Amino acid sequence: MNRLLPAACALTLMLLTGPLAAQSAAPAPATPTAPAKPRAVKKPPTKVAAAKPSSRRSTATATATAGAAAAAGASTVLDLPLTPGQLAAAERVHTGQADCEHRQSVQVERVAGQAGHFDVRFGNRSFRMVPEETTTGAVRLHDARAQVVWLQIPSKSMMLDQKAGQRLADLCLHAEQREGAATRVAATAPGEAASAPASGSLLEPAR
């Protein structure tokens, strides 16, 4: 009986201390932690390439600007009153149809209500021209917008494209120029006959 008592006490002590030891040895439950937020990555600023102006667009703009300036200048010329010299030159302009080489023709008409202004038509093109004073006696009509000239001299008339540097029409004759050419030929013929030596008078030796 006495031998069993110490054993019973030891067993009782083990039973009492076992749960306490297990509780102290068991790890404390982990406290749940909030998931880490991903760090924001800064994106580099996107570079926008500056649009380069198209060369065609620049050329078209420059051409349109030059054309507008030329048109404005031409309109200014047409709106300006003509000088007495221009009005005097306008009186010597031949009007009507002028027949040219290569079966071409040019039509010159005065503009009603605008002294010194002329409507000059060549094929399907029409020009508004005013006279320019010259020192040679030639009659010169000019369209400043189209840069085309109608030049009239006693023997013929011609149309020149100043921009292209070429003749559009040549050897053009109005009725007055044809009559003047015939008169010059008729006036020249008797003088040439009188100045020609008589047959055999100078070429044959004297007898």
The pLDDT of residue 204 is above 60 = no
Residue pair 146/123 in contact (Cβ under 8 Å)? The answer is no
Q: What is the pLDDT of residues 14-41, one digit of tens each?
A: 655 555 555 555 555 555 555 666 566 6
Instruction: Name the 3-class secondary structure at 181.
Output: helix
* Domain boundaries, given as residue ranges, for the chain: 94-187
Q: How does the average pLDDT of the chain come out, rounded?
A: 76
Q: Rounded to 5 degrees, what are φ and ψ at 54?
A: -70, 140
pTM: 0.55
The alpha carbon of residue 115 and the mean position of all alpha carbons in its chain are separated, in whole angstroms, by 33
The rounded percent of the chain whose pLDDT value lies above 70 is: 53
User: What is the Cα–Cα distance from 117 to 140, expressed in whole angstroms?
Assistant: 12
In this predicted structure, what is the pLDDT of residue 50? 59
The residues, ordered by sequence, that sit 6+ positions from 111 with a Cβ below 8 Å of its Cβ are: 117, 118, 119, 128
What would the CATH number be for the domain defined by 94-187? Answer: 2.40.128
In this predicted structure, what is the pLDDT of residue 45? 65
In this predicted structure, what is the pLDDT of residue 119? 98
